Structures are given as C-alpha cells and as structure tokens.
Amino acid sequence: MKRPAALSRKSTKSAASSRPPKDEAATPSREKLLQTAIRQFAKLGFDGVSTGEIAAATGFSQAIIHYHFGSKDQLWRESMTYLMHDLDARFPLNLSELRDLGPLEQLRVIVRRFIAMSEYSTELSSILIRESIADSDRLEWLVRRHFQKRIDALDNIVKSTVAAGLAKELPTFLVTQGILLASSFLFCLSPLIRLAHGVDLKDAKVAAAIPDELLDFFLYGLLKR
C-alpha cells in the first residue's frame, strides 16, 4: 500500500533535515568539532553551551553534530576521549618504564608530566573542576574510563614512598590529590596569580622553574631542614 503523498513528502523532508549538507559530511569536520567542543566545554561548561553554538563556532550547521555524534552527551564523551588521547600522545608515560626507578624518582617523573600537561593545556583541568562541582554522571564516566588507573598508579607510588621510609604516613588520597591539584590546576589560576602576585606563568623562565620548585615544596615541605 502506498503512503499518502503528503506523509511521504513530510518524512522525506524530516530525514533530509537531519542530515548535514554533502560538503560538510565530506570534510574532516569531526575532528574540528571535537576540538571546538573541548574549548567550549572548558570555557562554558556542559550546560553553558548548546550543540548549535558549538557547530556555529566551528563554522558548520547543527545537523553535522547529530550526524557524527547523535547527541550533546555523546559529543562530550567523545571530546574527552579525544582530549585524553591527544595528551597521552604528547606526554607519553609508560608506567612499566618506571619499574627500575625508586619511588621518589617515580614521583618526580609523574609530577613533571602533570605540570607539562597543565602548562600545555588547561582545558582538561577546567572541565574536571566544572564536572566535580556538578557531581555529574559525566564525571563518573570520565573517572572510570580515563582516570581511575592513573589515580591508582599515583596512589601506589605514594604508598611505596611511605613504605620506603622516605615520606610521612599521611592519608594517601590527601597526598595524591594534593599533587594532582598543585601540578595540574596551577596553570588554570594563571590570571589570578598574575593579578595577585604579579607573576606571569606564561613567562618561559617562570614556567621552567615551576617543576623543581613545586617538587621541592612537595618533597621537603615549607620549613627549613
């Protein structure tokens, strides 16, 4: 049985409106959308930006997002996976390569990596802050998918440092998160530090000194020995 002509035309029009123009679908638009989405989610948060605004900032129609990702939530998740893979590629760290190092040296390597990642891009730290405040399901997914193994690895190094008699026995989560917060979030506060302390973290000499100074503070504390 043939469908009524009006219904057929309506269905065809609806299907066509959900597809992006051919020139958009044929271009490498997916990666560009992910990069733009990361910047927008970091700056405005998940609820602060729409898929239409992300598409517009990329120079595409909104239909391209639904074509590639289906939903805003899926766009966010794939953006986070893209960001994590990009950071891992730029700042690789194979934990098996640390086996020949003592716990203190392992800690130094990891802290330096966190600082380098944060200096390169503050977007991940900004997104983590926003999602932690919201206590969202997205944060639970992000921790489970991308962070739990990393946090467990740092926890184990902290415990090994204590077991070797090199560090005080403090709550592991406190030490781990203290390291992560100071190493990874420092550059998020760059404008505040510039205004309050007159220190520009974008200055190459200042940035180059941070890893050693931060490590010295972490490992030996504020008091003179």
Taking the C-alpha atoms of residue 203 and residue 211, their distance in angstroms, rounded to an integer, is 14
Q: Which stretch of 3-12, 20-29, 61-70, 199-208 has the lowest confidence by average pLDDT?
A: 3-12
Per-residue pLDDT of 65-104, as tens digits, reads 989 999 999 999 999 999 999 999 988 877 788 888 999 8
pLDDT of residue 28: 55
Whole-number percent of the chain with pLDDT over 90: 53
Cut 0.85: pTM above it: no
Whole-number percent of the chain with pLDDT over 70: 87
The SS3 of residue 135 is coil
Query: Does residue 54 or residue 29 have the better pLDDT?
Result: 54
Q: Which stretch of 54-58, 114-118, 158-162 has the lowest confidence by average pLDDT?
A: 114-118
Taking the C-alpha atoms of residue 74 and residue 142, their distance in angstroms, rounded to an integer, is 12
pLDDT of residue 211: 87
Taking the C-alpha atoms of residue 94 and residue 210, their distance in angstroms, rounded to an integer, is 23
What the chain holds in terms of domains, given with CATH numbers, is 17-79 (1.10.10.60), 91-220 (1.10.357.10)
Per-residue pLDDT of 112-150, as tens digits, reads 888 888 888 899 999 999 999 999 999 999 999 999 988
pLDDT of residue 3: 47
pLDDT of residue 225: 66
pLDDT of residue 114: 87
Q: According to the 3-state scheme, what is the secondary structure of 28-69?
A: CHHHHHHHHHHHHHHHHCCCCCCHHHHHHHHCCCCHHHHHHC
The whole-number average pLDDT for the span 169-195 is: 91
pLDDT of residue 16: 41
Q: Is 23 a residue whose pLDDT tops 50? A: no
> Smallest Cα–Cα separation from 38: which of 115, 30, 67, 26?
30
Q: Is 14 a residue whose pLDDT tops 70? A: no
pLDDT of residue 5: 45
Q: Is 25 a residue whose pLDDT tops 60? A: no
pLDDT, the chain, mean: 85
Taking the C-alpha atoms of residue 130 and residue 126, their distance in angstroms, rounded to an integer, is 6
